[in-house]
Amino acid sequence: MASIEPLLKLAGRLALSAIFIWAAFGKIMNPSATVAQIQSAGMPMPGLMYALALASLIAGGAMLLLGWRTRAGAAILVLYLAIATYYFHYNLADRMQMVMALKNAGLAGGLLYVIASGPGKLSLDRG
């Protein structure tokens, strides 16, 4: 198993990073709708929150993808998920919101695993 561990860690980082990079692309393509959604969720300073969300998704996703400062990138994404879950998926009585909250918890779990175990040898971090 040790011989394929670097490939498995790389595949895991690629799979995890894809959802965040794709989410950033969606937010870039429709900024006004994203800002309106942020505002309707009751977040303060929707324009700033949009910029911070976009920066978190792009930076964290790229860091995870490349394996550069991987633990920091994963931590940024865990924080993003915690905030997004709190503001957008808090109504656990709604089945869809519960599914989305659990999906975010699963992603956070994968990111926490990356923080704990490192990015692997096939990364810019080399660890």
Helix (H, G, I), strand (E, B) or coil at 92: coil
Cβ count within 10 A of residue 23: 19
User: For 39-83, what is each residue's pLDDT tens digit?
Assistant: 999 999 999 999 999 999 999 999 999 999 999 999 999 999 999
Mean pLDDT across the chain: 96
The range of the structural domain enclosing residue 76 comes to: 5-117
Residue 126 belongs to a domain: no
pTM to 2 decimal places: 0.94
User: For 95-122, what is each residue's pLDDT tens digit?
Assistant: 999 999 999 999 999 999 999 999 999 9
Residue 68 belongs to a domain: yes
Residue 125 belongs to a domain: no
